Amino acid sequence: MDRDGTGGDDEPSRNPDGRPYHVYTVGADEPQTLAVVAAVAETTGIAACDLPPLYDAVDPDALDGLFERRPDGSARTDGRFAFSFADCAIAVDHDAVYVRSNRERSPRE
């Protein structure tokens, strides 16, 4: 998926209802696990504390470990991990979380 949320060649660019993917930029010292929760909360409008536990979807330590800095301090810039969480499709890489909500939005949203 491209950084602008438009999708790559093998991925749809938008949800079935026409909404684009939400792209959340991971902060310099922010663990991917916290970024996932923040991105899903932003995308769905559900408070982070009201989301289900992330550990029900993925091992938080393993997810953070995939993107930890190398022993020499350099960033791990390759790779992407995808999973489902809180009725959203999630893709995580070293500096972004991509979220596609699968839930129906209420008329107020």
Question: Nearest-CA neighbor of 22 among 11, 6, 9?
Answer: 6
Report if residue 71 sits inside a domain: yes
Q: What is the pLDDT of residue 79?
A: 87
Report if residue 17 sits inside a domain: no
Q: What is the pLDDT of residue 17?
A: 53
Rounded CA gap, 62 and 38, in Å?
A: 18
Report if residue 36 sits inside a domain: yes
Q: What is the pLDDT of residue 6?
A: 42
Report if residue 6 sits inside a domain: no
Q: What is the pTM of this model?
A: 0.77
Give me the domain span that covers residue 42. Answer: 22-101
> What is the CA angle 78-28-90, rounded to 5?
55
The separation between CA 40 and the C-alpha centre of its own chain, rounded to angstroms, equals 7
Q: What tokens does 71 get?
A: 């022993």
What's the domain count of the chain? 1
First and final C-alpha spacing in the chain: 25
From first to last of the 109 residues of the chain, give the pLDDT tens digit: 444 444 443 343 444 455 578 999 999 889 999 999 999 999 999 999 999 999 999 999 999 999 988 899 888 888 899 999 999 999 999 999 999 988 755 444 4
DSSP single-letter state for residue 25: E
